Structure 1
Amino acid sequence: MPSHKYAINAVMLGDTSSLPWTNLGLWQVGIDYPQACQNLAITLANALVLNSNDYVLDLGCGWGASLNLWQQKYNVSHIDAVELQAECFQHLSRHKALKQINKYQGSFLNLKSLDLNSNYDAIMCIDALYHHALPHFLASIEPFTHGRTRLGFHYLVFTSRWASLSFLQKKKYRYLLGLADVKLDYIYSCHQLECVLKQFSWQHTDIQILTEPVLGGFSSYITAREKEFNHIHGLDGIKIKLTAKLCHLLFKEGILDYVQVVSYKSTESS
């Protein structure tokens, strides 16, 4: 059995490194899984204008690939990391490359329970937040922001096609998304998402649609990998295959978009 409901088998996905990635990836022609995952992280970091002077909070950091990226590519020396899964946290704690990073085990929906050090210049949550209610998350990070904090995360939003679906069609998607631990009640339109952010004094929100290179790219990769190899098997494999099928369906039907969200804390709240 997977050790946690969010546990993902990185080896089956194609990353055998000591600090593996486990996100959906941002896909381009001719790249492998680790490169696609790194693309997703780099695209978010660049949109946040991440720099070496930032005090960074990485939420839901998994096996630590993103933490190493901030150190190696962006020369960030002040990083705090929060991870819920005990197995991942123990791995982070043991890895020599991450010894300078402050690591905390717990939920990013309850940051007050952790002994975090400071307010942060950049807060990031890569490919994880759409499992949770955005207002709950924003309330959790609020005590750890200042007037110039930048926030970046990935989310799912309704497209204009959603309103045209019948009751039964919406019920079907509620069920399918529920299997992936995504609740329809947590999903907004782009306009609604901006309004929720404004309620917590986040301004100048930029929403970038990444549906095709993320959902379409991941589903195509898993389909090809499944045909070429026999590495996707067992319960971990079923989870990966079902995720890929859902990604394909959402991309094909065009009712939800996968988006990158970057927002800035209003100076009035400092």
Structure 2
Amino acid sequence: MDWGMKNRLSRLIQPDGHCFFMPIDHGYFQGPTTKLEKPWETIKPLLSYFDALFVTRGVLRSAIPSAIDKPIILRVSGGTSMVGKDLADEILTTSVEEALRLNASAVGLSVFIGSEYEKQTLSNLSNLVNECNRYDLPVMAVTAVGREMEKRDARYLGLCCRICAELGASVVKTYWCEDFDKVTNGCPVPVVMAGGPKVDTDREVFDFIYDGMQKGAIGLNLGRNVWQNNHPVAMAAALNAIIHEDASPKEAEEIFVAAQVM
């Protein structure tokens, strides 16, 4: 790994080896998203708690101040929507030159393994890695499942993560699942959690994030559970404590409650 790649990854992954990425790229396939109507107003209060921002070029240019001191992971795949035929039919939408122009520290794209568009999206990943390696620009592969949420098990996600690593991804973003160590143990590059099962309480979020960290994840790429929460700053503070301070779910819950009255 050359100096440029190491330097960019060091912006994203903190000295403790962990990271908390904040995704606000949801509009690229689902359009206007609750609490992201004005992205900067939503994330500005959260800035001190996350380490990097995952965003599209359109929102970055139109809504995020250029003086932001957080590294950018640029979403570079898309081309489908919630009302279209198949979310998996993605293409590369943004060039590496554009990512460099925007001073991105990394780029991210989705792959849909097991779908009709498996080969297409894995080809997107391979071609992107080939181009990014010329400039020491890290690639984060996102193991998307589209509408097929039942695929979130260790066998499937472990397969996805390993394939992404084999094709050259620097980091893989995937869902938490039961037996998450089977996913991380089979992946030779860092794994960050995209989220987990649908839950009813904030404590359950803390539980699965803590479990994932204990089982080999280096961090988190979680948005809606934070900025759609009734107390987004408190949620960000609690998750940051799990990621960077090894807080237990109980301790995170206490931080969450205390931060609501600050």
Q: What range is the shorter-chain TM-score in?
A: 0.3 to 0.5
| TM-score scaled by length of structure 1 | 0.34
- TM-score, with structure 2 as normaliser: 0.34
Structure with more contact order per residue of length (Cα contacts < 8 Å, sep ≥ 6): 1
Q: State the structure with more CA Rg.
A: 1
